[in-house]
Amino acid sequence: MATFSVYIPWYPKPRGRCVAYLRKSERPHTKLDFAGQREAISALVSKSRARLIDTVVELEPLINGQRPALEVAVELCKAQNATLIFGRISRMRGCHRWLQFVRDERVRFIGADIPTINSLGWWEIGRDLQREQANRNRKIKEALAKTKALGVSLGGKRDNAEGLKLGPAASTISRNWRARSRDSYTMSKIELLQHRGITTLSAIATRLNQMGHPAPRGGTWSPSQVRAVIKKFES
């Protein structure tokens, strides 16, 4: 008698206290499905030994690419030793970067829509992104090679090509100098806060915002931005 086996992907079930992170949009044709996110989280929690202690909602589209509600959810999880449950990980802008941020903060997480994406297997998203980029690069190279084989001249030729490079080069030097000067000033503020006993990334970001110190691209400071500045000046 023949036997058949069905592969069911394993993923760690959330336990204990959990914080829900939902994404919402006021746009009329949004695909975020706010109600569906709640249902997915409820289904995930009901099938495990977990209980929901709080819910944080992020309003999209994002401002300056930041997710302040996610940072609040991370701080709640750290304070309560809770697991962060994403209502919808798929189609989340900057997904890999934000999952790495949550992982760096040592917070357990899981996606209600894709439970196999969690604090253990989040790196798979980065691997898939690298694979897609490699495929795009390969296709571009193949297309250029075919065009060149047909005798088409690629690129342009200008008599003052060397002179044209001087402007962007000078602009790059100027931008780098201004960025370094700005980061040096910010680092002096961070060192002063650390000397006063404010040492966590979140507390430093909050204090910089209270001081009215502008973030590199405007807006408010986040823990990840503070970490980036500190790393620049690590010996």
Summarize pLDDT for 190-217 with one digit per residue, the tens: 888 888 888 899 888 888 888 888 887 7
pLDDT tens-digit series, residues 152-162: 776 656 555 66
First to last CA, the chain: 67
Going by pLDDT thresholds of 50, 70 and 90, the confidence category of residue 235 is low
CA 124 to CA 134: how far, in whole Å?
15
Which carries the bigger pLDDT value, residue 25 or residue 182?
Answer: 25
Per-residue H/E/C for 200-225: CHHHHHHHHHHCCCCCECECCCCHHH
Could you tell me the pTM of the whole model?
Answer: 0.54
- The mean-pLDDT minimum among 21-25, 66-70, 110-114, 119-123 falls in 119-123
Which carries the bigger pLDDT value, residue 158 or residue 146?
Answer: 146
Which range, 79-88, 95-104, 126-135, 168-177, is most confident?
79-88
For the chain, what is the mean pLDDT?
81
Which carries the bigger pLDDT value, residue 155 or residue 98?
Answer: 98
Which carries the bigger pLDDT value, residue 63 or residue 218?
Answer: 63
All structural domains of the chain: 16-123 (3.40.50.1390), 184-235 (no CATH)
Average pLDDT over residues 25-39: 88
CA 41 to CA 43: how far, in whole Å?
5
Share of the chain above pLDDT 90, in %: 23
pLDDT at 228 over 70: yes
CA 154 to CA 65: how far, in whole Å?
36
> Do the beta carbons of residue 40 and residue 112 sit within 8 Å?
yes
pLDDT at position 1 is 45
CA 174 to CA 204: how far, in whole Å?
28
pLDDT at position 139 is 83
Average pLDDT over residues 68-84: 94
pLDDT at 184 over 60: yes
- The mean-pLDDT minimum among 12-16, 75-79, 102-106, 175-179 falls in 175-179
Buried b (16+ CB within 10 A) or exposed e, 151-172: eeeeeeeeeeeeeeeeeeeeee
pLDDT at 233 over 60: yes
